[in-house]
Amino acid sequence: MRIRNLVVVGLLAMPMLALAAEDPAVGALNQRLLVLQADMATADVAPFEKLQAQQAIAALAKAKRKDVEDARYLAERRVAIAEAASRTALARREVDQLERTRSELLIEASRRDAARARQEAEQLRVQTQIQAEEAERLRLAAEAETLARQDAETALTSVAGRQQQRLSAAQQNAAKLAREEAELVSGQKLPASKFDGRGEVYTFAGDAFAAGQAALSGGARNQTKALAEYLNIGKKGRVTIEAYDSANGVGQRRAQALKDALVEAGVAASRIQVTGKKAASTRARSAEVIIAP
């Protein structure tokens, strides 16, 4: 590639050198243009600006005496524009590369944080299970002595409660990091979410569907892409979709449309159950996606 560029530059230089013998300005401008053509970093950028510069230099070489000043000014401007366009193209390439590198680093950091949080949650789950087994052994051993059993159960209940709080906090932290990873990877925002007695609940607002319709809006479809990515991180379990509308059958069709969008985005269909509810859809809620704890 470099040899071919040098050959092209040599061929372009021959007529330019002949013209330079007549006007030193032509030679100087040709030399600046040849530097751009010979440099591998700028040889393939700003081709239109370089062509315009070549044409302006050729026009300068052929200009009559009364037009030389204007032709020289135009040629100098065209060469300067070609140089600036080449520098701008190189800078844009560097910025694009830096942006790609930054995005890759952010995604990798998010994945590592999420993996660490899942590992901590699993360790706490095992610790909780071990403590539960130990609690059962102590309870059976103290069965003959009521007072001792009550004291043991009180102590163990307190320990289990604290451990459950730690486990719940770790699980919510892992879910937070997984949500951030899902949004980074998918490039979309998740719906609003909360934790309640049913599990982790994602709520689609009223504008997710047109009035009385079951087709997802563009914004809701983007949210399902992020939600699908989140559901596939850590292989979370059973998912229930509940959708609402006061018209017969619309809630069921909305729930099915959400399921279809999640399946299309990569979630296994066997994990998802759908339920339509004959109840009014509101601005704040037209459907809920419930992830079992």
Q: Residue 160's pLDDT is what?
A: 64
With a cut of 90, say whether residue 4 has pLDDT above it: no
* Range name among 145-154, 226-235, 243-252, 271-280 with the lowest pLDDT average: 145-154
The phi and psi torsions of 145 (rounded to 5 degrees) equal: -125, 105
Domain boundaries, the chain: 2-97, 112-184, 188-291
Selection from 60, 64, 58, 55 nearest residue 72 by Cα = 60
CATH for 188-291, options being 3.90.1010.10, 3.30.1330.60, 3.40.1620.10, 3.40.50.1820: 3.30.1330.60
Residue-wise pLDDT tens digits, 54-104: 898 999 999 898 889 998 999 899 999 988 888 898 888 889 889 999 988
**81 residue type, one letter:** I
Distance CA 180, CA 104 (A): 14
Residue-wise pLDDT tens digits, 187-241: 999 999 999 989 999 999 999 999 899 999 999 999 999 999 999 986 667 999 9
With a cut of 80, say whether residue 1 has pLDDT above it: no
| H/E stretch holding 195 | strand 192-196
Q: What is the mean pLDDT of the chain?
A: 84
Q: Residue 270's pLDDT is what?
A: 93
Residue-wise pLDDT tens digits, 7-22: 344 434 444 444 444 6
Tokens of 8: 């092209």
Categorize the per-residue pLDDT at 288 as very low, low, confident or very high, splitting at 50, 70 and 90: very high
Count the residues in the chain: 293
Categorize the per-residue pLDDT at 293 as very low, low, confident or very high, splitting at 50, 70 and 90: confident
Write the DSSP assignment of 269-282 as a string of letters.
GGGEEEEEE-S---
Categorize the per-residue pLDDT at 40 as very low, low, confident or very high, splitting at 50, 70 and 90: confident
Q: Residue 11's pLDDT is what?
A: 39
Q: Residue 5's pLDDT is what?
A: 47
Distance CA 232, CA 265 (A): 10
How do 192-196 and 199-204 pair as beta strands?
antiparallel
* Range name among 13-17, 33-37, 159-163 with the lowest pLDDT average: 13-17
For the entire predicted model, the pTM comes to 0.45
Selection from 49, 157, 170 nearest residue 114 by Cα = 170
Categorize the per-residue pLDDT at 286 as very low, low, confident or very high, splitting at 50, 70 and 90: very high
Up-side HSE of residue 247: CA atoms within 13 Å toward CB? 9
Distance CA 130, CA 165 (A): 16
CA distances from 259 to 151, 209, 222 (A): 50, 14, 14
Q: Residue 135's pLDDT is what?
A: 79
The percent of the chain in helix, strand and coil, each rounded to the nearest 5, is 70, 10, 20
In terms of phi and psi (left: phi > 0; alpha: psi -120 to 50; beta: otherwise), the region of 157 is: alpha
With a cut of 70, say whether residue 277 has pLDDT above it: yes
Categorize the per-residue pLDDT at 113 as very low, low, confident or very high, splitting at 50, 70 and 90: confident
**% of the chain with per-residue pLDDT over 70:** 85
* Range name among 13-22, 38-47, 283-292 with the lowest pLDDT average: 13-22
Selection from 236, 110, 112, 235 nearest residue 180 by Cα = 110
CA distances from 37 to 1, 49, 63 (A): 12, 12, 25
Q: Residue 176's pLDDT is what?
A: 83
**258 residue type, one letter:** L
Q: Are 259 and 226 in contact (CB under 8 A)?
A: no
Q: Residue 188's pLDDT is what?
A: 94
